[in-house]
Amino acid sequence: MKTALPLEAASVPVIAADGGGTRCRIAFANAHIVEQVEVAACNLSSDFDGGIRELRRGLDLLSQVLGEDLNQFPAVFALAGVVSDDIANRAARTFPFARIRVCEDRVAALRGALGGVDGAVIHAGTGAFVGVQAEGRARFAGGWGSNLGDEGSGFWIGREALRHHLRVLEKRADKGELSSAIQSEIGGAAEVIAYAGTRPVRDIADLAPRVVACAKTDPSAQEILMNAARHLSDYMQGMEEADHGPICLTGGVAPHLAAYLPTHIQKRLTQPRGTPLAGAIALARDLAGQS
């Protein structure tokens, strides 16, 4: 079934990819998403070669389904881990598209949520960042990955839940529903340490929905979510462009933090216009229009 795009409609066919730390979606679109495939994570900072392999696999799948040579179409790949022009250019050179742009995934998320309107995005999924779009320019804060940042993200929330459980085991925090759930699902201190040290980031982030559920009755879970929301609002400090316009919450975690955000942010919240993939498609149309 064709999926209508909520952004600027155009008939020019394009290829677009939205690749994050969990999965990568690749689409062929004109005025609609005609066909879409999904492959594994594409983070070019943590695993450049692996990310390129997944992109190639997805493009091959898409080409087989469509029966088309995709290289004739403009392409934009919005991918996690594109933190420098060097990485972007290196990735672009590995593909034979006549017109191609590789950019970080935050750019597509911002364009998808806001379209062409000035405003801001607060994103919390596996990772976290704030993006501001003003007068055709984009600016970001956060999104530096689990080792250096991503405060307020699903990963951060999951890690805080594990830390809370360890404090409970040491009698430094009160036991509640959240600690009991982690004890039941993961185990005691030895199991928690092994879990945190061996599981990928997305598995730690998968604990965030448990924290959200426990927050209905457990003050410790509520405190974790309050602190997550505080970190997200802190990202906006020093970004004067974020003082005006709508604010969209994106990612699987951010909408659950709305009630914990400051009132002045809550008053400006609005539904995203489209998805990051729709944003990547819009960027691909921009690229096509430059030719």
Whether 138 is covered by a domain: the verdict is no
- pLDDT for 145: 77
189-236 pLDDT, tens digit each: 999 999 999 998 889 999 999 999 999 999 999 999 999 999 999 888
- Residue 140 falls within a domain, yes or no? no
* 12 and 98 belong to one structural domain: yes
Question: Which phi and psi angles does 45 have, rounded to 5°?
Answer: -85, -45
Q: What is this structure's pTM?
A: 0.84
In a domain, 48, yes or no: yes
Q: Considering the domain boundaries, does residue 213 fall inside one?
A: yes
253 and 282 both lie in a single domain = no
Answer whether 127's CB lies under 8 Å from 285's CB: no
- With cut-offs at 50, 70 and 90, classify the pLDDT of residue 114: very high
Same-domain status, 255 and 168: yes
| Same domain for 278 and 245 | no
**What percentage of residues in the chain have a pLDDT greater than 70?**
95
Q: What integer pLDDT is reported at residue 241 of this predicted model?
A: 67
Give 32-83 pLDDT, tens digit per residue.
778 899 999 888 988 899 999 999 999 999 999 988 888 989 999 999 889 8
Position 1 scores a pLDDT of: 40
Residue scoring higher pLDDT (170 or 30): 170
pLDDT confidence tier of residue 123, bands split at 50, 70 and 90: very high
Return d(Cα 179, Cα 164) in angstroms, integer.
7
φ/ψ of 39, rounded to 5, equals: -130, -170
Is the pLDDT score of 9 beyond 50?
Answer: no
Q: Quick check: is 91 in a domain? A: yes
Mean pLDDT (whole number) for 16-44: 87
> pLDDT for 272-288, tens place per residue?
999 999 999 999 999 98
Flag whether pLDDT at 19 surpasses 60: yes
- Do 253 and 280 lie in a common domain? no
CB burial string 81-105: b at 16+ within 10 A, e below: bbeeeebbeebeeebebebbbbbbb
Task: Please check whether residue 184 lies inside any domain of the structure.
Answer: yes
| Domain containing residue 184: CATH number | 3.30.420.40
Q: pLDDT tens digit string along 163-193? A: 999 999 999 988 999 999 999 999 999 999 9
278 with 239, same domain: the answer is no
Average pLDDT over residues 114-137: 89
What's the structural domain count of the chain?
2
Residues 99 and 206 in one domain: no
Same domain as 247, residue 163: yes
**Chain centre to alpha carbon of residue 242:** 19
β-bridge pairing 119-124 and 32-40: unpaired
The tokens for 252 are 């699987």
Whether residue 245 sits in one domain with residue 162: yes
Residue 8 pLDDT > 70, yes or no? Answer: no
* 244 and 280 belong to one structural domain: no
Amino acid identity for residue 121 in this structure = V
Whether residue 4 has pLDDT greater than 70 = no
Q: Are residues 282 and 250 in the same domain?
A: no
In a domain, 81, yes or no: yes
pLDDT at 7: 46
More confident call, 146 vs 35: 35
Statement: residue 2 has pLDDT above 60:
no
Helix intervals (H) in 175-218: 177-185, 189-198, 201-205, 208-214
pLDDT at residue 138 is higher than 70: yes
Segments forming the whole domain that contains residue 53: 3-115+273-289
Asked whether residue 108 is domain-assigned, the answer is yes
Same domain, 259 and 176: yes
